[in-house]
Amino acid sequence: MKSPAILLVEDEPGIVDFVRRGLQAEGFAVETEMNGIEGERRALDDSFDLLVLDLMLPGRGGLEILASLRQAKPGMPVIVLTARGEIEDRVVGLDAGAVDYLVKPFSLAELAARVRVQLRLAKQATTGTLRSGDIEVNLLTRQVHRAGEDVRLSTTEFELLVYLLRHSGRVLSREQILSAVWGYEHDPATNIVDVYIGYLRRKLNLPDDPAPIYTVRAVGYRLGDGA
């Protein structure tokens, strides 16, 4: 089976070596470029499954590269790496077309987990649209609607909703959701699944119609099919 091909565009040699070695150890084929001009050319001209991109690059900035990719390869997942940690910078990067965002310094295990999630979502995107009741998700454009109304979700909220939609009507344990969406194994100390279910419910709620995400006591959650 062919290893997923990843292009890393980053100008700090230490990070390039760290990420390349780490992702290769996880089974990915990794190629690197250290300036924006050549990185953009490779991303546009060559065949990669995912791009890991620094925003601050010599020659051509990461946001310019994202703009080019959004036009030419809208389905290609891009994970942004940057020293910029402010919320405004994250929003700019995500709005420019990135699917995920990691602030330096970061954990290689976390990056690898997010790469796996994004590769899985990109593969699933060929199916086009997911629906359950009045909830509709376009996997290519990443647009979400409920009862015809636009719903703005963060990257993680989107991934969580997609997972619930793909298993609509089924009870999913917290452990299943944690593994599928975050790429983590069982961690009894974390309540991140419950927190993000709460976020998702609030965004999908309608004035007289709560989000159809139901808690199954002592097990987990289910999307659809009534309380």
pLDDT band (50, 70, 90) for residue 198: very high
At residue 34, the pLDDT reads 96
Residue 102 has pLDDT above 80, yes or no: yes
Looking at per-residue pLDDT, the higher value among 65 and 226 belongs to 65
Q: Residue 38 pLDDT > 90, yes or no? A: yes
Amino acid at position 62, single letter: G
pLDDT band of 91, cuts 50, 70, 90: low
Per-residue pLDDT of 204-224, as tens digits, reads 999 889 999 999 988 899 998
The predicted-structure confidence for 168-191, as pLDDT tens digits, reads as follows 888 999 988 988 888 776 566 678
Residue 188 has a pLDDT of: 65
State the pLDDT confidence band at 135, using cuts at 50, 70 and 90: very high
Instruction: Report phi then psi at 129, rounded to 5.
Output: -125, 140
